[in-house]
Each structure stands twice: as structure tokens, then as C-alpha cells.
Amino acid sequence: MAAVLAFYRKSWRLTNQLPRAEAMYYRGHLRNHVANRREEEDEDRVRSMLERAEEDLKWLSNKYELRLPEWPCDRVTESAERHKFLCKKKKINPK
């Protein structure tokens, strides 16, 4: 669930760069997508959905020529230990 929330935050930050109408559209789509799949418990399925969502996010950033937000972990599916390691390396407080 932590990876899903991290991806949600990353996506929300990306939509800040969009014009208001487009931002509201993509935020609503994102919110509905996360809410509809909240009950998913299969880790492999969640991982595959996150990988697909990551590709969609890259597509969106290319379509509107957006800069992906700064993120300690490029891949949200990395383990928590890897996240903490990268945060220490970049001297960021892990959340």
C-alpha cells in the first residue's frame, strides 16, 4: 500500500504542472483508479498495475512536456530498504 500511496503523491505533483482543467481531469481519473483498486491484495498484481501506471505517467509527462517531480526512488516498486538507502545517500529524511 505504501508504494501505491507514493505513486499517488508523485502523480499528484506531476499534475501541478498542468493547466487547471487538465489537472482536474487527470486527478479525478487518478483518484477513481486508486479507489477502485483499493481492495487488491495480490502483490504481483499490484506490482504490475504500478508498472503500467508508471508507463502511463511517463506518457503523460511526454504528452504535455512536463518534468517528472524530484523523487528519491524512480521506481515506486522498490523495497523500503532501497528507499531508505537512497534517502540517506541524498541526505533526505525518509517518510
How do residues 42-85 score in pLDDT, each as one tens digit? Answer: 999 999 999 999 999 999 999 999 987 665 544 444 555 555 56
Average pLDDT of the residues of the chain? 82
pLDDT at residue 29 is higher than 90: yes
Q: What are phi and psi of 17, to 5 degrees?
A: -85, -10
- The whole-number pLDDT of residue 36 equals 92
| DSSP 8-state code for residue 8 | H
Q: What are phi and psi of 54, to 5 degrees?
A: -65, -40
Cα dist. 29→9, 17, 77, 94 in Å? 14, 16, 21, 28
Residue 71: exposure state from Cβ atoms within 10 A (0-12, 13-18, ≥19): middle
